[in-house]
Structure 1
Amino acid sequence: MQIIRNIDEFFTEKPHAVVLGNFDGFHLGHKAITDRLCNISRTKGLVPAVVTFQPHPMKFFGADLKLIMTEDTKIKSFADAGVEKMFILEFSRKFADIDPEVFVREFVVKKFRAAVVIVGYDYHFGKGRKGDYNLLVTLGKKYGFTAVRVPQVTCGGITVSSTNIRNFLKEGDVEKAGEFLGRPFFIEGTVVDGNKVGRQLGYPTANIDFRNELIPKAGIYISIAVIDGVRHKSVTNIGRRPTFSFPDQMKVETHIFDFHDDIYGKDVEIELLKYVRPEEKFPNVETLIKAIDEDCILAKKWFEENGC
């Protein structure tokens, strides 16, 4: 997949099918849009392309927004889905003040050569968020492209949205978040040296220098550690280790069952499958070890019952 960040240096004569959006999380709703994009592109002989923005417009305007996935993972998700080009446009005050029709005429039509423009059910764009699907339909007749709107996707009567997924993660409901994402939510990062506390307790852990902005609610999770493409059963602690007197900094530590390889410096993904319990401050180390014993027993039973 070709990544284009400098639109001034981009030129094409090939007609494109283009989707517009932010696509944080690449959830089931985003997948429905991307599937529509690729199907239309195959049928009409168009180049499937995504147009997204950096930073996220809500972050630009000052919202305390934690993104679900890293940019690298979002890029990989679109590439795996069959998208051939991804335009990552710098979102600035100047860009935010562009009139919706000017954006469509100068970017969508002239730069992207869009024959088809696809958006989600609630997408807005341009100055004051005045641009929407209905405007695209009108402008399509004027500039010669077809506008397509993909309806909302729901799970259990709830709209699949990045906002709802963020809320699930903040509550520790990784199962519901995974349902909306269409895959387990995962933390990605690099294994780094730690304080060796887990090893002293009899439960060595991989300490993750994570790259995610959004980290779920502190607590113990049943998890899968993906290392070099291999999946390993594990339990993960997210929190500040209140039983010990360490600096008040969020940590992600994973104990991998029956695993003894040296993985320092390796990139890993930690899939969070089920929330077990909140992080606790125990009165002594013995009580903490007993709790970890119980966490591991519960996790292994869960894996067995779920055919993992």
Structure 2
Amino acid sequence: MECIITGTVIHGKKLGRSLGFPTANLLIDPSLEIANGVYAGRVALTGKPYGALVNIGYNPTVPTGGKRLLEAHLLDFSGDLYGRTISVELVAFLRPEQKFASLDELRERIEQDKTEIIKILETC
């Protein structure tokens, strides 16, 4: 899989931050032909690559008001990316987007996804 999506980081609902997974959010074209779901990814910042847990879609658990977003949680990164242009390389598809019954269920699944993504990125 080779796909790179570039965009300007926008403000979101800051839900990822409250769940312990702050994200860089990009508004993406709904017609972009890539499946909604969770991906292992990479983001390069100032020459350093960061592994990323990436979600593309409409966030069925906490809807985005019809906006299709790419949300990238950069592993081992902290800082402010608002207004910066970043490129997100999608490395591997993990699972389709899904709706969870609660934010606790969502947080647990993100933890599982993160563990799997770290393993994937170690081999790529």
- Pairwise same-fold verdict (TM > 0.5): yes
Deviation at 1:235, TM superposition (A): 0.9
Give TM-score, length-normalised by structure 1.
Answer: 0.38
Q: Which protein shows a greater Rg?
A: 1
- Secondary structure of the residue aligned to 1:291 is helix
Q: 1:212 to 1:243 in 2, by over 3 A?
A: closer
- 1:217-228 superposed matches below 5 A: 217-228=35-46
Instruction: Tell whether 2:81 aligns with 1:259.
Output: no
Q: Which of 276, 280, 291 is residue 98 of structure 2 equivalent to?
A: 280
Q: 1:243 to 1:215 in 2, by over 3 A?
A: same
Q: Which of 36, 57, 60 is residue 242 of structure 1 equivalent to?
A: 60
5+ residue gaps, structure 2, are none
Alpha-carbon distance between aligned partners in 1 of 2:28 and 2:93, rounded to the nearest angstrom: 19
Instruction: Tell whether 2:89 aligns with 1:289.
Output: no
Q: 1:282 to 1:232 in 2, by over 3 A?
A: same
RMSD of the alignment, in Å? 1.7
Query: Relative CO higher for 1 or 2, CA cutoff 8 Å, sep ≥ 6?
Result: 2
Alpha-carbon distance between aligned partners in 2 of 1:267 and 1:245, rounded to the nearest angstrom: 24
Aligned-pair identity (%): 35
Do the aligned partners of 2:58 and 2:68 also contact (CA within 8 Å) in 1? Answer: yes
- 1:1-308 superposed matches below 5 A: 175=1, 178=2, 185-210=3-28, 214-304=32-122, 306=123, 308=124
Deviation at 1:267, TM superposition (A): 0.8
- Secondary structure of the residue aligned to 2:9 is strand
- The C-alpha deviation readout for 1:121-162, integer Å capped at 9, x for no partner, is xxxxxxxxxxxxxxxxxxxxxxxxxxxxxxxxxxxxxxxxxx
Give TM-score, length-normalised by structure 2.
Answer: 0.91
Q: 1:283 to 1:213 in 2, by over 3 A?
A: closer
5+ residue gaps, structure 1, are 1-174, 179-184
Q: Which amino acid in 2 is paired with 1:189? A: G
Alpha-carbon distance between aligned partners in 2 of 1:208 and 1:240, rounded to the nearest angstrom: 12
For these two proteins, the number of residue pairs brought into alignment is 124
Deviation at 1:211, TM superposition (A): 6.8
Alpha-carbon distance between aligned partners in 1 of 2:119 and 2:27, rounded to the nearest angstrom: 29
Q: Which amino acid in 1 is paired with 2:36? A: A
Alpha-carbon distance between aligned partners in 2 of 1:276 and 1:190, rounded to the nearest angstrom: 24
Deviation at 1:212, TM superposition (A): 9.3
